[in-house]
Amino acid sequence: MALSEFELIERFFSHIGHPREDVLLGVGDDCALVQVPAGENLAVSVDTLVEGVHFYAGTDPEKLGHKALAVNLSDLAAMGAIPAWATLALTLPESDSEWLKSFMRGFSALANRHRVQLVGGDTTRGALSVTIQVHGFVPPGKALTRDAARAGERIGITGTLGDAGLALQQMAGGRLPEKWLRERLEAPSPRLAAGLALRDLATSAIDVSDGLLADLGHICARSRVGARLELWNLPLSHEVDEHIKMSGDWSLPLTAGDDYELCFTVPPDSCRQIEAALGGIEERVAWIGVVEKDPGIRCLNADGRQIEAGQGGYQHFQSAK
Ligand code: ADP
Ligand code: MG
């Protein structure tokens, strides 16, 4: 039997995530009441995933619950913020208990891992979409914004680029990606510990959600600088590397997106310190280029030639040309 809205809330959304002392009143009233610690700024971010746009119809709900929270936590990571609370607005075609149970399992596991408590939300009927807002803390003046990169700084990146894009490409072609590759698309890990470690060392940071060119482009635009990317230094999995060798096409690591790695800029004399700080946290940190005075991003290949890497990034309201 289908559950009513209130039964759904009681069964699936109450007591989700890590129970936190700074939550004075959680799910169940008109508003949640929360306490921001003295001397901290509140970092807030929201993201929506729409069926058919951000994920395939029929996507495993447990993976979706994870990913919807992960992409939001990734934004907090990119600011150097520590996550605390989340709200969840769900639009569902029907009140399907099995689907919700599974969705909340994925959500809860990640929320617990990062000590996030679900404090409220909204549940409505309609085409499937998931909106999550996250809240975290960062000391005043410490957030890793996009506007402070300076010419001469090195550009760093965590993890590998292009894996999610390759998985998506394979699935679009009717092929089932290997498990690890599919996880890179469906279950990204927000780089929260890395963001925290970078907070005192990096000058700017962004999470790579729309592709490296687009997201590094945001840092460049906001900081009024440009960049040189050294393609031979891009961190690639064996599979993405092979794909590029065969096709000569760099679009997976440059424009495909959904990587959720952190891209950041640092003064050149801080590189060793960053490597040490990220050493125990991330498997990989790579130096992939240099911030330059001239606007725009130039992609150099191993023999020093500039290659045309195309326009970057997924845009929802791109005008037809
Ligand atoms: P209201 O009509 O006052 O907006 P609702 O009936 O929408 O209240 O929600 C009742 C309570 O359940 C609120 O505390 C709300 O935050 C919570 N809630 C509703 N849907 C969700 C959800 N998907 N996730 C978490 N909390 C939810
Ligand atoms: Mg409501």
Whose Cα sits closest to atom 12 in ligand 1?
28
pLDDT band at 321 (very low <50, low <70, confident <90, very high): very low
Mean pLDDT over 12-16 rounds to: 95
Whether 9 lines ligand 1, by a CB cut-off of 6 Å, is yes
- Beta bridge pairs of residue 129: 50, 91
Any idea which ligand is nearest the CA of 87?
Answer: 1
pLDDT number for residue 308 = 80
pLDDT number for residue 195 = 97
Rounded to whole angstroms, how far apart are CA atoms 134 and 299?
A: 34
User: What is the residue-averaged pLDDT of the chain?
Assistant: 93
Helix, strand or coil, per DSSP, at residue 8: helix
pLDDT number for residue 152 = 98
User: Would you tell me how many other CB atoms lie within 10 Å of the CB of residue 12?
Assistant: 22
Q: How far is CA 256 from the centre of its chain?
A: 13
Whether 30 lines ligand 1, by a CB cut-off of 6 Å, is yes
> What tens digit of pLDDT does each residue of 291-312 get?
999 999 999 998 888 988 754 4
User: Would you tell me how many other CB atoms lie within 10 Å of the CB of residue 3?
Assistant: 15
On the 0-12 / 13-18 / 19+ scale of CB atoms within 10 A, 78 is: buried
Whether 304 contacts 234, CB under 8 Å: no
Whether 120 lines ligand 1, by a CB cut-off of 6 Å, is yes
> What tens digit of pLDDT does each residue of 31-70 get?
999 999 999 999 999 999 999 999 989 899 999 999 999 9
More confident residue, 314 or 206: 206
pLDDT number for residue 62 = 97
Any idea which ligand is nearest the CA of 17?
Answer: 1
The residue whose two tokens read 């003295």 is 38
Sheet containing 129-138: order of strands: 41-50, 129-138, 82-92, 117-125
pLDDT number for residue 148 = 94
Q: Select the highest-mean-pLDDT range: 95-99, 202-206, 299-303.
A: 202-206
Range list of H helices, the chain? 5-8, 61-79, 97-113, 163-172, 179-186, 192-198, 212-223, 238-247, 251-255, 271-279
Whether 207 contacts 215, CB under 8 Å: yes
On the 0-12 / 13-18 / 19+ scale of CB atoms within 10 A, 42 is: middle
Ligand 1 center from residue 4 Cα (angstroms) = 13
Q: Percent of the chain scored above 70 by pLDDT?
A: 96
User: Would you tell me how many other CB atoms lie within 10 Å of the CB of residue 2?
Assistant: 9
Residue 302 is given by DSSP the state T
Whether 195 contacts 120, CB under 8 Å: no
Mean pLDDT over 3-30 rounds to: 92
The closest-lying atom of ligand 1 relative to the alpha carbon of residue 123 is 20
Least confident of 96-110, 153-167, 272-286: 272-286
Following DSSP, what letter does each residue of 158-216 receive, concatenated?
ES-SSHHHHHHHHHHTT-PPPHHHHHHHHSPPP-HHHHHHHTTT-SEEEE-SS-HHHHH
Ligand 1 center from residue 102 Cα (angstroms) = 19
Whether 231 contacts 250, CB under 8 Å: yes
pLDDT number for residue 93 = 95
pLDDT number for residue 316 = 56
Rounded to whole angstroms, how far apart are CA atoms 154 and 267?
A: 6
Mean pLDDT over 279-294 rounds to: 94
> Of 257, 151, 272, nearest to 203 (Cα)?
151
Least confident of 7-16, 181-190, 292-301: 7-16
pLDDT band at 315 (very low <50, low <70, confident <90, very high): low
> What tens digit of pLDDT does each residue of 213-248 get?
999 999 999 999 999 999 999 999 999 999 999 999
Cα–Cα–Cα angle for 212, 141, 76, rounded to 5 degrees:
45
Ligand 1 center from residue 259 Cα (angstroms) = 31
